[in-house]
Amino acid sequence: MEAKTVYFERSGQENTSEVLRIAGQRAKELGIKTIVVASTRGDTAAQAVEALEGFRVIIVTHSQGFREANANSFTEENRKVVESKGGVIYTGTHLFAGVSRAIRNKYDTYVVGDLFASVLRLLGDGMKVVCEISIMAADAGLVRTDEEIIVIGGTGRGSDTAVVLTPVNSQDFFDLRVKEILCKPRF
């Protein structure tokens, strides 16, 4: 099998439209029906449900209180757009953070979740994100672990990375395999 990988000169949101186009095209070629997308404030989510019409689009965002106590970063306006287009929004604790981040913040030390995240970032921030959110979606029962999906993530805001993978549950982390890298920053 031969497949194309696109490398972006820079990371960040300037690549979002192209990432969504590439992901949608490859999903059609492979017969993939589900695309999982990371989004913090919902801007990328709103773009994704528009660009990926006809696919099951699952948006993964971080837990309430992540940046500020009792506050949700995902805007109500973007939530309405996503839901009106049939998108599903999952709000949850980052797989590699949660209690690990609490230990790091309180005791100024790094633990396993931090190490996993740092190793995956060797391939780019977006690669860490796509692995993390695919597992979060699987743990939430939103994707099956026996079907390929496309997962989209990024560096900071917007999207710059897309992969094909078969998700696993968190307890099976070491069985996760990225099958195709569709695009990512070259950095």
CATH number at residue 32: 3.40.1380.20
146, part of any domain: yes
Per the structure, how many domains does the chain have? Answer: 1
Is residue 28 situated within a structural domain? yes
Highest mean pLDDT among 75-84, 91-100, 102-111, 115-124: 75-84
The answer to whether residue 1 sits within a structural domain is no
Q: What is the pLDDT of residue 114?
A: 78
Please indicate, yes or no, if residue 74 is contained in any of the structural domains: yes
CA distance 164 to 173: 16
Q: Residue 33 falls within a domain, yes or no?
A: yes
For 155-179, write each residue's pLDDT tens digit.
988 999 999 999 999 999 999 999 9
Predicted TM-score (pTM) of the model is 0.90
Reported as half-sphere exposure (CB side, CA atoms, 13 A), residue 18 has a value of 18
Please determine, for residue 73, whether its predicted confidence score (pLDDT) is greater than 90. Answer: no
Q: What is the mean pLDDT of the chain?
A: 91
Residue range of the domain that includes 163: 6-185
Q: Is residue 128 part of a domain?
A: yes
